[in-house]
Amino acid sequence: MNDSTVEIGMGPVTPEQVVAVARREARVALAPDALAALAATRRRIEALAASDRPVYGVSTGFGALATRHIPIDRRADLQRSLIRSHAAGTGPEVEREVVRAMMLLRLSTLATGRTGVRPVVAETYAALLNAGLTPVVHEYGSLGCSGDLAPLAHCALAVMGEGYVRDASGERRPSAEALADAGITPVTFAEKEGLALINGTDGMLGQLILAGHDLAGLLTTADITAAMSVEALLGTPRVFAPDLQTLRPQPGQAAGARVIAAMLQGSEIAASHAVDDCPIVQDAYSLRCAPQVSGAARDTLAHCLWVAGNELAAAIDNPVVTLDGRVESNGNFHGAPVAYALDFLAIPVADVASMSERRTDRLLDVRRSHGLPPFLAGDPGVDSGHMILQYSQAGIVAELKRLAAPASVDSIPSSAMQEDHVSMGWHAARKLRRALDGLARVLAGEALSAARALDLRERRPAPATAAVRDRVRTAVEGPGPDRFVAPELEAVVGLVKAGALIEAAEAVTGPLE
């Protein structure tokens, strides 16, 4: 197989593979061991279906209706009705990358052979992914327990040839029409198959993996913009020395300090005041403690990625087919582990952004910027410079603090009290995605202001910070009279999200953390 194909076997997919399929259109293929496991487990389900023994999801109703026995001639109707009734999402459409990640993760669970679906079901999921057909999934509908029910049901509905998809060009089309054009035959689900397609944490897990990928880059970017601000504000690099960091052996903190120190290596600005009689005795916390905050965020992220790794190795369904062939009900679909991780990450996202906004404010305040013009304005009074850019940051930070409130503590019972405690993990995921967008925008504002401040200093900045400033300058002009700020800020947001500031820095420093 070529490098752009992700093979789905009985083992877990990796976070990198999830990102590749979700964002970079990598193809998927089912490995022979997975197809063999699917066929073997399916034989067990078909044997149970032919017996008189009631089995949840095979010969009974669902949730609070599990006491209803379903006769053999109505069991295909049972699975079809389950998907139709559970595809009850509402609100705006969910992003394409989230739906693709969710489908890949459900496919990965199917491939373990623990769900009891036929190989054709897994093959059809793979076919939709490879054809670029993305089921239309809506913002609201999951409580994060019994799986991400509504989002996953919308995916299964498309596999049935019902509902709507977005095709590879982004056009919204009826599923039956889009599948026919792609040469994909819709699936009529047999016993247990509908249930197996919706009992998973795939929606929240996919968003955790994508968020982890994005946050790792944003934390490096935060250290880069912090270094630019430290330099522009005549801060000292001495506080980032390795021996000082070793006194507090937090691994994330040490990593952040290494990034900032590497960024400031060779700075004439920093060297110009590194003398014994310098009047600046200690820098403000937002400068001096930058690696302590970004480092704590790194360590939090490491824990949450550990949780995600465990979840990637899981085979979540209810009931599940065990290795010895039993079909057992269980509670593994409860999203608490993932929900807590998603909520946990929203806290450092808000705090890193808060510290970045404080550095920007310091750059703009003539009383604290050590010689920079008020608001970095070209002609202060006539020009307002970046005054209102900081307002935008402050508004975002306020929103991020609200988004840091946990969703996972807010259980609301459902299904006639059968599902009397739910995780709200999907909601934790949705607010984390909004929070990450906010963090990127706050860091872009700091980068924009710090680049201007470095331009206004007489001495040369460090080679690495200069490289980042110059990358900003490819999108935004240097200091001068007031200009329309919003397009300039948006241009730098694009650079931050694309990792362009990291690339510029690493062209000088080599790989950063």
Catalytic residues: 56
Q: Could you give the CA distance from residue 450 to residue 469 in angstroms, rounded to a whole number?
A: 8
Q: Could you give the CA distance from residue 70 to residue 76 in angstroms, rounded to a whole number?
A: 10
With beta carbons less than 8 A apart as the criterion, state whether 233 and 363 touch.
yes
Q: Could you give the CA distance from residue 342 to residue 255 in angstroms, rounded to a whole number?
A: 23
Q: Which long-range contacts (CB under 8 A, 24 or more apart) does 493-499 make?
A: 493/440, 493/441, 493/444, 495/444, 495/447, 495/471, 496/218, 496/221, 496/440, 496/443, 496/444, 496/447, 497/214, 497/440, 499/217, 499/221
Residue 197: φ, ψ to 5°: -90, -10
The DSSP 8-state label assigned to residue 95 in this structure reads P
Distances (CA, A) of 4 to 23, 151, 206: 12, 27, 19
Q: Could you give the CA distance from residue 151 to residue 26 in angstroms, rounded to a whole number?
A: 22
Q: Could you give the CA distance from residue 124 to residue 379 in angstroms, rounded to a whole number?
A: 63
User: Across the strands, what pairs with 93?
Assistant: 138
With beta carbons less than 8 A apart as the criterion, state whether 262 and 509 touch.
yes
Residue type, 379: D
Q: At what angle do helices 202-232 and 500-509 cross, to 10 degrees?
A: 60
